[in-house]
Amino acid sequence: MPDVFSERVHTMARFGVPVVLGLVYGYWAAANRRGGGPITGWNLLFGFVTAVVFIVLCIAVALWAPKLQRELHSAVKSAFAGAAVGFLYSQSGAPVLRSIAMGAVVGAAIFVVFFYRYYTREDAEGNRIR
């Protein structure tokens, strides 16, 4: 299948998508923590710090995980997604154990999807099948 976009577009997307996702995630976490109350300076700071941490971790996972075997590749990405969902859920005031369970369920579901995707698109050595 021919690649429609240039290498520059792929590089911009590799860093642009995590930034946009991080900003949305930070806003969402701050809104969950605020619970419909007034926006305060601490709430804004929390949202920006959450966004920066998400962006850094998302870029790290995106750059580091593809270098791993498909099982670990799937595990790293699903652990990041599960932890992100669990953290968001915990900011809404949910109990800690319920937040952990929610993150674990989401992480397990994402692991199954990613593992299937990588398993069906790689050979035994982990090379992409074209």
Residue 53 has a pLDDT of 97
Residue 80 has a pLDDT of 97
Q: Which amino acid is at 57?
A: L
Residue 70 has a pLDDT of 83
pLDDT along the chain (130 residues), means of 10: 77 90 96 90 96 96 88 93 96 94 97 89 67
Please classify residue 126 by burial: count the beta carbons closer than 10 Å to its beta carbon, then call 0-12 exposed, 13-18 middle and 19+ buried: middle
CA-based nearest residue to 42, from 54, 55, 29 = 29
Residue 1 has a pLDDT of 56
CA torsion through residues 47, 55, 113, 13, sign: positive
CA-based nearest residue to 59, from 24, 13, 97, 101 = 13
Residue 99 has a pLDDT of 96
